[in-house]
Amino acid sequence: MKAIISVYVVPLLIVLMVSSCAQSIHRQSDLELLRSVENAFVNIAARSKPAIVGIIASDFQQAEHPNRLEGSGFIFRKEGYILTNNHVVHGARRIMVRLLDGSRLEAEVVGTDMNTDIALLKIEGKKAFPVLPLADSAKVRVGQFVIAIGNPFQLDYTVTTGIVSGKGRSILREWGIIRYQDFIQTDAWINTGSSGGPLLNIYGEVIGINALIRKVENTPAPAMAGAGFAIPINLVKTIGAQLIANGRVIRGYLGISMGEVPQGIRVRAVVLDTPAHRSELQRNDIIIEYNGKKVKKTVELQMLVAESQVGKQSVIKVLRRGHERIINVTIGEMPPELMGHAVEIESVAWKTLGLAVRKLKQSDFERYTYLTDEDQGVLVEKVKEKAPGFNAKIPRGALIVAINGQKVTNVQAFDAFLQAKQDAREFILDIKSSHGTEQVTVKLKN
């Protein structure tokens, strides 16, 4: 009997010992895995912090108690270029940047873009600044780990982790806050003061700029539970490069209102005196392709038009009453009021001709295909409806080369000529536009 018991007990003890060892090994393996993940997050935060900054923007409207707004940003070029959100620095008279070592430097606004909520700042230093590498946001995958670093509630260098919850998000459209929306959604905690900070992948590369959080309805303050949204870094790269080169962003413009339908994008309305109006595009056309690329979402078409070269012809394929048609449209420049830029309405040119003009910039030669390096004159930025310039059909983006045979060299000279000829009944303008070179007679109202 004892022998029989031994036969069964010994194997059982062996099984229990093996099972106990296996559980111990599994526990050890699980801990090592967690420790590895934990160390990865810790190391990324430590490496990234030197390039992340706190931003203090003040408007000094009240001398005793100036309005202050605090946000975040990060250095992406060693010369001291900083990326943040436009809403962090909008309207600020003075901007201070706080570095990891506690030092503060005054920052200059290089340029801003209201339509994407991006701002570019510059600080000066005696040596190269630490920077964050930029990823390719087109390769971002839903479900991947992310790390957000910022300064919420003046709590410097707060680190939160989460995953990418979604891509290509478009929200707040009814408010008209940000025109070009292609957000990365994340559950990494973002809150007041985190705006402008980086959203990082597991390699410590920036995949987006943290922009906002959408609060759950009826959530009691100060709780801000909801989804966080970041601007994809590929879009930021494009905007940042233009701001560094030109101090502003030039966008293509079509001039339609639109909505999504199963087949593509329906044209709800065509705005008067726009590239769309001057083409054969019609209300209720359904746009299915833009320059050979199929489009299903309005944000896709907006991005494609915005990135198109001003003055260049784009090919749009539409469905009209069930039949496909090809329409060629010469893309214009987005009006300054849609770009968030003020237009000079006190100038003589505006009051006399209904034209807002500005000097030529280097970026204009790159964006307007009809300009050459030898061209001189002033560029028409806006045309007032029903004014003499509007009635003469002078297009936005046209270059005014001469007036009454006299060459136009700058805005001041143009205004001075108009001022000296206040009794004139008409002016003859030599202009250059996507329609070619022509003389236009502008008749003034008596």
CATH superfamily of 252-333: PDZ domain (2.30.42.10)
pLDDT given for residue 21 in this prediction: 56
pLDDT given for residue 31 in this prediction: 82
pLDDT given for residue 136 in this prediction: 92
Q: What confidence category does residue 375 fall into, taking pLDDT thresholds of 50, 70 and 90?
A: confident
Least confident of 35-39, 119-123, 219-223: 219-223
Fold of 348-443: Pdz3 Domain (2.30.42)
pLDDT given for residue 223 in this prediction: 42
Are 103 and 126 a contacting pair, CB within 8 Å? no
Amino acid (1-letter code) at residue 209: I
pLDDT given for residue 258 in this prediction: 86
pLDDT given for residue 92 in this prediction: 81
Over residues 25-80, the pLDDT tens digits come to 666 677 888 888 888 889 988 999 999 999 988 865 444 545 567 889 999 999 99
* pLDDT over 90 at 9, yes or no: no
CA 183 to mean position of chain CA atoms? 10
Over residues 77-100, the pLDDT tens digits come to 999 999 999 888 877 888 999 998
% of the chain exceeding 90 in pLDDT: 27
* pLDDT over 70 at 305, yes or no: yes
* pLDDT over 90 at 248, yes or no: no
pLDDT given for residue 215 in this prediction: 55
pLDDT given for residue 280 in this prediction: 87
pTM of the model: 0.61
**Of 307, 429, 306, 312, nearest in space to 370 by CA:** 312
Positions marked catalytic: 87, 117, 195
Whether 252-333 and 348-443 share one fold: the answer is: yes
pLDDT given for residue 88 in this prediction: 86
pLDDT given for residue 38 in this prediction: 85
**Of 245, 267, 265, 246, nearest in space to 256 by CA:** 267
Q: What confidence category does residue 222 fall into, taking pLDDT thresholds of 50, 70 and 90?
A: very low
% of the chain exceeding 70 in pLDDT: 80
Q: What confidence category does residue 113 fall into, taking pLDDT thresholds of 50, 70 and 90?
A: confident
Q: Give the domain ranges of the chain.
A: 41-246, 252-333, 348-443
Q: What confidence category does residue 191 fall into, taking pLDDT thresholds of 50, 70 and 90?
A: confident
* pLDDT over 60 at 115, yes or no: yes
Least confident of 327-331, 349-353, 368-372, 431-435: 368-372
* CA distances, 142 to each of 166, 201, 303 (Å): 6, 12, 22
Instruction: Please give the mean pLDDT across all residues of the chain.
Output: 81
Phi-psi domain of 225 (left: phi exceeds 0; alpha: psi -120 through 50; beta: other): beta
Spell out the residues 6+ positions from residue 297 whose beta carbon is closer than 8 angstroms to its own.
168, 170, 260, 265
Among the ranges 171-185, 240-254, 366-380, which has the highest mean pLDDT value? 240-254
pLDDT given for residue 345 in this prediction: 58
Q: Which two tokens stand for residue 433?
A: 């536009």
Name the H helices within 56-103.
86-89
**Of 366, 434, 344, 444, nearest in space to 403 by CA:** 444
Over residues 132-179, the pLDDT tens digits come to 999 998 899 999 999 999 887 666 788 888 899 888 777 654 444 456
pLDDT given for residue 344 in this prediction: 55
Distance between CA atoms of 303 and 9, rounded to whole angstroms? 74
* pLDDT over 50 at 268, yes or no: yes
Name the H helices within 137-278.
233-246, 275-278
* pLDDT over 70 at 351, yes or no: yes
Distance between CA atoms of 263 and 295, rounded to whole angstroms? 9
Distance between CA atoms of 134 and 236, rounded to whole angstroms? 10
Least confident of 192-206, 227-241, 356-370, 413-427: 356-370
Q: Which CATH architecture has domain 41-246?
A: Beta Barrel (2.40)
**Of 434, 433, 266, 250, nearest in space to 334 by CA:** 250
